[in-house]
């Protein structure tokens, strides 16, 4: 369990995050969404202990991440957006580097590489950007950590690779792991992220499961524009609209429409999802 309480962080005199509070529970794949510059990457680096909060706290299973205790580090892995090529075959690099994580499973690395159609005998500095990114994703999963933080993991992946990414996430992650995926590519991850966290500089606008979202908001894919819509967008053949679910009907979340709804009606949506 990760508990973030009144977290603030600044780069010098420039505030980045202010009074952020949220909880991240085991066994879930969180989608971390937000506009450019709201601090998604900063939050990930704070969660994994690479940065120290200016104020407030982060507690992960009773531990302060910034202390960087070995017992904490062996149970978490952070994959940044940009990854470095190495002058080694990926299988050799992965096996050597994996020794820092007690639960590293080389067979899982090879399984993920197979799903990605990546050659583990190929040197990493001769790979394309997409192949290199998939190698690091395969390694991150093979570390078998309790906490996995992925920053824009589908950047640089082509369409088949994005489908492969969804497959490895769903088939090779533990049911007990907490995974946080920061992304702008919401359509790439729409079917695997649950809960969804939408971040603002000074607030967590939403932290809710897909089930809770669809119980409180209705996603209408019809042809008639509803005057009570919080958000609507014309599509070929009709509209995608979002409005309060007053009838209890089921619908399928459109994450882009959800994001736009939240940002157009921040306080209203926070009120709808308030647990107080």
pLDDT of residue 224: 85
Domain boundaries, the chain: 2-206, 209-272
pLDDT of residue 106: 98
- Give the list of residues 6+ apart from residue 271 with CB closer than 8 angstroms, or none: none
CA–CA distance, 155 with 185 (Å, rounded to integer): 8
pLDDT in tens, 1-29: 999 999 999 998 888 999 999 999 999 99
What is the chain's alpha carbon radius of gyration, rounded to the nearest angstrom? 20
CA–CA distance, 32 with 181 (Å, rounded to integer): 6
Q: List the chain residues with pLDDT less than 70.
A: 275-276
pLDDT of residue 218: 95
pLDDT of residue 237: 84
Q: What angle do CA 137, 138, 144 make, to 5 degrees?
A: 100
pLDDT of residue 149: 98
CA–CA distance, 82 with 156 (Å, rounded to integer): 10
pLDDT of residue 275: 61
pLDDT of residue 182: 94
Burial of 197 (0-12, 13-18, 19+ CB in 10 A): buried
Domain 2-206 is in which class?
A: alpha beta
């Amino acid at each position: 369990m990760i508990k973030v309480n009144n977290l603030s962080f600044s780069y010098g005199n420039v505030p980045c995050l202010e009074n952020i509070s949220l909880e991240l529970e085991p066994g879930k794949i969180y989608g971390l969404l937000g506009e450019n510059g709201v601090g998604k990457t900063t939050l990930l680096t704070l969660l994994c202990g690479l940065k120290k909060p200016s104020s407030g706290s982060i507690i992960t299973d009773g531990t302060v991440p910034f202390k960087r205790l070995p017992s904490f580090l062996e149970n978490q892995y952070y994959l940044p957006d940009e990854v470095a090529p190495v002058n080694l075959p990926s299988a050799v690099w992965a096996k050597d580097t994996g020794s820092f994580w007690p639960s590293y499973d080389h067979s899982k690395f090879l399984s993920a590489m197979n799903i990605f159609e990546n050659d583990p005998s190929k040197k990493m500095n001769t790979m394309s950007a997409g192949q290199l990114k998939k190698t690091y994703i395969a390694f991150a999963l093979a570390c078998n950590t309790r906490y996995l933080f992925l920053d824009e993991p589908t950047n640089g992946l082509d369409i088949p690779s994005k489908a492969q990414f969804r497959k490895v996430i769903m088939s090779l992650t533990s049911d007990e792991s907490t995974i946080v995926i920061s992304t702008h590519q919401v359509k790439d991850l729409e079917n695997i992220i649950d809960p969804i966290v939408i971040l603002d500089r000074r607030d967590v606008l939403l932290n809710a499961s897909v089930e809770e979202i669809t119980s409180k908001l209705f996603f209408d894919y019809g042809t008639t524009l509803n005057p009570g819509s919080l958000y609507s967008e014309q599509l070929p053949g009709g509209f995608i609209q979002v409005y309060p679910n007053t009838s209890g009907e089921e619908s399928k979340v459109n994450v882009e429409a959800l994001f736009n709804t939240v940002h157009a009606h921040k306080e209203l949506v926070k009120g709808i999802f308030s647990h107080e």
